[in-house]
Structure 1
Amino acid sequence: MSSSYGTKELWHLTHGMRRLVLAESARDAQRIQEVEEELPIARRQLDSINHQLYAHDLQLRRGRDVRVVPLPPGGGARTRQRESGPRTMGGSTSRRGWGTGDDYE
């Protein structure tokens, strides 16, 4: 049994492969366009979730020393705390060596 193809058979094979590749390429381009159209919706949903998390975080921190700053354009939750977090005996939170006073910077 021969494994070689004639010119006409090769032309039909390559022509069929080209058509298949073009069809797949068109489907890929269409899907990319659909995803690009869905992206702004997803961004708005994420901004909404960020806003909800920000509001929830504020409720959890109620009663603590918290200064609220406005949300930046496009969303995102940001809070700034004054003098919060764990404290050591000296009032410093820097990393120091064992009694040497050396910083590990």
Structure 2
Amino acid sequence: MQLNSFRTLGRSGLRVSPITLGGLAFGDADDQTSTALLDPYLAAGGNFIDAANVYNGGRSEETIGAYLDKHRACPPGRYQGPGTSMSEFQLEAAGGLER
């Protein structure tokens, strides 16, 4: 399946693949397993990977981020937490980029 028939994500203007790769299990899996999942997804044209600060205590972001860093791709991120203030969002976004 080719995933490069991109669609616009809401009003953001971002062009994303029609199927998102869920990142919840990353961080529990070893690097070899993670690579076995990420390689074919990116090779098929996928560019939309779901990750969040609450997935495996941030380890999901770390695993996906390390993989994408090696492949010079942009890491994903999503914030989920008790607060909704801009300062809390910025703090979590910065943590996600560090991971």
Which one has the bigger helix percentage? 1
Provide the TM-score with structure 1 as the length reference.
0.20
TM-score by length of 2: 0.21
Greater relative CO, 1 or 2 (CA 8 Å, sep 6+): 2
Q: Which one has the largest radius of gyration?
A: 1
